[in-house]
Amino acid sequence: MFGYSQSATISSLTMTKLAASINPPTPDQLSFTLVGDPNNPNGGVATRFPGLSLPSLGITASGATPDNLYPTRIYTLEYDGVADFPRYPLNLVSTLNALAGAYYVHTDYLFLTPAQIDAAVHLTNTVGPTMTDYYVIRTEDLPLLEPLRALPVLGDPLADLVQPNLKVIVNLGYGDPAYGYSTSPPNVATPFGLWPEVSPLTIADALAAGTQKGIHDFGYHISHLDLPQITNGSSSPVGNPQAAPTTGPAAPMVSINTIIDDLQAANSQVANTITEVGAASYAALLPTADIANAAITSVPSYNINLFLDGIQQVANGDPMGFVNAVGYPLAADVALITVAGLLQAFVLVNAGQAIAHAITTPIG
């Protein structure tokens, strides 16, 4: 079976149901290949936030994809915010990059070449018996910089200037400045944490190397710029005194019928435009209300549960529970509120585009 994104989640649930059925298929009868898996044990957004439920948005975090029921291969693109979400969301840059990756990277699986698939990194540091192979396909450019790269002429040079150091910061959200994915066991369900245990000297060395690489890449691009050609759009001499004067077409005759027809058309245009603008405006209200509902009710409820988890740690003798009781809700909020803000931005952009289309497009 093949599963991509949400269908990978369905495949994960199917594994468990099939294995528990009266006459389950044997491992030599069934296998799975999953890409962009939201339930990827160490990176899937559904496993980074265990117990999260946002009913108003139709989102409920399910468990990790089983790793020892049927032969399975899971392929993940680096920085895919759906299947490769940062382990440390307090790193806002890393979280924003993952959200950009959900837009720019998550849709690329069907366009991968055989060479890219063959070059995938096989994660072999699994724990215990498993029938699942985990692969990461490296992503060369940070999705967070894609809008900058879209700028003409200087977009790519500027992106290459900042990318090496920015990549160090982004990768710290996964726990290692050298990798845009978690390097802990891939078959272990791994929730989000507070901060990585990385030596400041390691970070300093990575930033120093990144600065040198960024300057080198910027200089290379600047020296190889392909500037657009500036051409004169006129195909005839300008200001030629010999040119014969031209006359436009004769003005059309105006009649009472023409005036009435034009007034009727204008009336219909105004009415239809007002209707479309109104429809686009109130169409944005329902998703906005759903997002607000989640932010006001579900997210605080999740925070309370995280706080109580920390208190439970303290009650069981672990003083780090005090830190987690405060830190975990804060880390979750950074990720969830950022996601909510991005969703609301998409809603407003879509509504704005619909309104602009209604105003600028003639009817009929």
pLDDT of residue 179: 96
219 or 359, greater pLDDT:
219
Put simply, whether the predicted model's pTM sits higher than 0.85 gets the answer: no
pLDDT of residue 283: 65
Mean pLDDT of 120-141: 96
5: annotated active-site residue: yes
Percent above pLDDT 70 for the chain: 84
pLDDT of residue 242: 54
Widest pairwise Cα distance in the chain = 98
Q: What is the pLDDT of residues 28-55, one digit of tens each?
A: 999 999 999 999 999 999 999 988 888 8
pLDDT of residue 236: 47
Q: What is the pLDDT of residues 237-290, one digit of tens each?
A: 444 545 555 555 655 666 777 777 667 676 767 777 777 667 766 666 777 888
Catalytic residue among 5, 11, 12, 94: 5
289 close to 340: Cβ distance less than 8 angstroms: no
